[in-house]
Every structure is written in structure tokens, then in C-alpha cells.
Amino acid sequence: MGPKTPPAATDHDLFRLELVNLIDARHELVRLAELIDWSVFEREFGGQFVSTTGRPALPTRLVAGLLYLKHTFALSDEDVVERWVENPYWQHFCGERYFRHELPCDPSSLVRWRQRIGEAGVEWLLTQTIEAARAGGVLKRVSLSTIVLDTTVQEKAIAHPTDSRLLNRAREQLVEAAQDCGIVLRQSYARVGPAAEHQAGRYAHARQYRRMHKQLRKLRTWLGRVIRDVDRKAPREIPEALLARLATARRLYAQRRDSKNKLYALHAPEVECIAKGKARTPYEFGVKVSVAVTAREGIVVGMRSMPGNPYDGHTVDSALEQVQVLTETTPAIVLADRGYKGVVPACGARLLLSHTRKLPAKLKRLLRRRQVVEPMIGHMKTDGLLGRNWLKGEMGDAIHAVLCGAGHNLRMILAYLRVLLVAFVGWLVAASSIEATAAPGAVAVQN
């Protein structure tokens, strides 16, 4: 059933104090709530609810506000609903009229809402942050003509992949699935499997690689024996759970060092190994994400996951297409690093690469703004949630990337509003002090 409609503003509760009379109207969250057009979410998300029966869904402003707060302050689903109860400004931001003492929803409701609206729905959340930045004076209209493109890695929430752990866990999961189907296995290797896994780790730490590989061969052999035993004893109609575990085990059993499309996590087969040339992290496990920010302010105007670890230049058209959809503007100049060499954007924008020689002085100064994207990515990973993605599947990667961009924009707007408030208060204090010092002199002249 469709979302709940908020109660009419004409209804008053004599025994409760309204939030507008409790909070400071100059607070940055109050002013940010006024910049966002919340009616867009009711219009765009309402089409996701085709059924007219059942329990009404949560209000769209409440869900959109919780998703905004989650990625603005880098919280989990559980933490954001718990802190929402304690903070009257958060409740006002989400459209509440009176202070509430109970949780707004179960944390799992945010999971279902993300799955329902999908990547197209969260792009509307990013679009409204861009419009709010424009309405608040953070983003100038002319800034959309020059953007900066770059790619980064959105790491998945997985343990560091090792052959010993993957082989042993695949065997354990296959044995468990077979036993759930009533298959009696010849041997499960439940005792020697974990011991071999731990021993392989000890040998690797001691740099005794020949002994380590011997333990890995044992683990691979035991996994192959369990696979063949399940194949022999499985019923004609294999259950889906067992079939999925069997396919994963076969893929891992056939995997070698020089194999393509390796499996790095049993619960997240979409994870890829990406090398970005960093000394501190030579390899990162996740998905490549394209980031587009304005060259002047650093506002995110496009963010999209790129599964398959494509060449950076091959992501240009997809990234610029998203920028055009979200901002309704075609960039004239695109700044990028040398990783985008040899590409001509299909939209007609001019692509300027780092270290390009024989440029006019104006374009040279403009090209220096390419570095603005680097600290923005760093802030999204340290102050936001881009550093670790807990959402499931490729759709989770896409949704999480867009929401991280929306959270970054809101942090930029809040910082701008906070500075304006401090400047306004400072101006009032200075004006009052000037009046206080001028008052005695005026009285003396009159006397």
C-alpha cells in the first residue's frame, strides 16, 4: 500500500509542544530542510506502490530524511534510527511535527525501501541535494559547465581473501547444505579442515611457502572429494540452496592463481580485485566507482558504480550521461587525469587531461582544479561511508555509491550554512559593541 499521508497542519495537540517552538530556526539542519523539495519524493516514489491493500508504507519524507542523515553522519541503519529519537533537529528534518519518544521505524525498513526504489530512486535523492546546493548559494549555475572526473574503489565489507579460508569455508557451507537436504556424506572433514586452514596461515606468516602450499593442496583435495560425494548422492531434483552452494564450490575448486574472474568472497561473488597503484593498499576488493564533481565547489553531480573493472576512459560516456540527467546540463569542459587518455566524449564536451602541453594560460589555470576531486573522495571515505560498503549485490554497490555522493553534498551545504550563521552572529556582536562604545560620547555631547 502507498505511503502514509502526513496529518493536516490545522490539527493541534494542546498537551504537546511543537518542534518549531522547541528548536532554533537558525540551525543548519532546519535551514537545510527548507532548501529540499520533499514533494519530489512523494511523486517519484509513489509509483513504486501499486497495491492498494495491506499496511501503509512509511512516509516518504521520513525515509528520505533517514537515508540523508545516515550518509551525512556516516551511521548504520540501526544507529540512525536510535539517534533520531534523541535529536529534535533530526525529527524536524524528517518532517515530524511533535517530538516522538519511540523509534521511527525498524532498521530493516530502510533495507526494503532501498530495494524497492533501486538506483533510479536514490538518484532522485542525489538530484535534490544538487538543487538544494543551488538554492542555498553553495553551487553556482555556471559551475556545472566545468566538471572533474575520476574513479576510485568502493571496498566491500569482506574479510581479506585467502585461499585457505575460502576453500575451508566453501567445504563447510557445502557440507551444511548437503546435510540440510538429508544427504549422508562419506566424510565431512570437519576436524582436519579448520586445522589445515590455521596451519596454512601460520606457515604463510613464517614465510614457509612450500609447507603452506601443501596445506592448500589438502584443503582443495578435501573440497573436491565433498563435491564428488554430493554429486553422487544428490537427488534428481536438487534444491536451489544446495545447487547454489555446489556451483560456488565448483567455481572455487577450479580457480587457480592465473584464473580470470576470481571468487574473493563466498557471500559477495561480485567483488573484484582492483589495483590503483597505491603503496599502502596495492590491491582493493570491491567495485570501481566513477565520481564527477564541479571544478569550483567540489559538489558531487554524478556518482555511478562500474562493475567489471573497466578502463577509466570507457566510463566517460556513462558518467557524463548521468551528469546530464541529474543536472539537466551538458558540461562544456571535463577535467581528468591521464587515465582517460585516448577518449573523445560522445556528448561533445572538451576533455582536458593532466600534464597537457601548449595550452592557453586560462586553460592551464583551469586544469589545476582537477585535483579538487582527490580531497572530495578522501572526505567521502573518511567522513562518509564510501570506504566500506555493507549493502548486498551489484545493486547494493550502485545504491551505496549514489547515496555516498548525496551525503557528501549535504555535508558541504551544512558547512556552508554553519559558516553563514557564525558570520551573521559575529556581525551582530560587532554591531552591538560599536553601539555600546558610541553611546557614552553621544550622551556627553548632549550634556
- Please answer whether residues 334 and 351 qualify as being in contact, where contact means their C-beta atoms are separated by less than 8 angstroms: yes
3-class DSSP assignment, residue 185: coil
Using the CB atoms, write b or e for 115-126: b if 16+ within 10 Å. Answer: eebebebbbbbb
| CA-CA-CA-CA dihedral for 301, 307, 313, 318, to nearest 10 | -40
Q: What is the pTM of this model?
A: 0.89
Query: All 3 cell numbers of residue 142?
Result: 555556471
Q: How far lies 274's CA from each of 53, 167, 277, in Å?
A: 46, 22, 9
Residue 95: closest CA among 5, 170, 178: 5
- Please answer whether residues 291 and 151 qualify as being in contact, where contact means their C-beta atoms are separated by less than 8 angstroms: yes
Task: Tell me the C-alpha distance between 173 and 241, whole Å.
Answer: 10
Based on DSSP, count helices (H) and strands (E) in the chain, helices before strands.
14, 6
Residue 70: closest CA among 117, 148, 125: 125
Query: All 3 cell numbers of residue 65?
Result: 530524511
SS (H, E, C) 1-35: CCECCCCCCCCCCCCCCEHHHCCCCCCHHHHHHHH
Task: Tell me the C-alpha distance between 339 and 295, whole Å.
Answer: 18
Residues in CB range of 304: below 8 A, 6 or more apart = 289, 290, 315, 318, 319, 322, 398, 401, 402
**Rounded to the nearest 5°, which phi and psi values hold at 98?**
-120, 155
* HSE (side-chain half, CA atoms, 13 Å) at 309: 16
pLDDT in 10s for each residue of the chain, 447 residues:
677 776 666 667 777 888 999 999 999 999 999 999 999 998 888 777 766 777 888 999 999 999 999 999 999 999 999 999 999 999 999 999 999 999 999 999 999 999 999 999 999 999 999 999 999 999 998 999 999 999 999 999 999 999 999 999 999 999 999 999 999 999 999 999 999 999 999 999 999 999 999 999 999 999 999 999 999 999 888 999 999 999 999 999 999 999 998 999 999 999 999 998 888 889 999 999 999 999 999 999 999 999 999 999 999 999 999 999 999 999 999 999 999 999 999 999 999 999 999 999 999 999 999 999 999 999 999 999 999 999 999 999 999 999 999 999 999 999 999 887 667 667 667 777 777 776 655 544 444
Q: What is the pLDDT of residue 425?
A: 64
Look at the block and give the residue holding cell 555516498: 404
- Please answer whether residues 369 and 378 qualify as being in contact, where contact means their C-beta atoms are separated by less than 8 angstroms: no
Look at the block and give the residue holding cell 606468516: 205
Residue type, 309: N
Task: Tell me the C-alpha distance between 406 and 404, whole Å.
Answer: 5
Task: Tell me the C-alpha distance between 203 and 221, whole Å.
Answer: 19
- Please answer whether residues 84 and 61 qualify as being in contact, where contact means their C-beta atoms are separated by less than 8 angstroms: no
Beta strands in 102-160, from DSSP E residues, in sequence order: 146-155
Q: How far lies 436's CA from each of 328, 369, 439, 444, in Å?
A: 52, 46, 5, 14
Task: Tell me the C-alpha distance between 97 and 117, whole Å.
Answer: 26
Q: Enumerate the H helices of 234-285 as residue ranges.
A: 240-254
Q: What is the pLDDT of residue 443?
A: 46
Helices 316-327/107-135 angle, 10° precision: 80
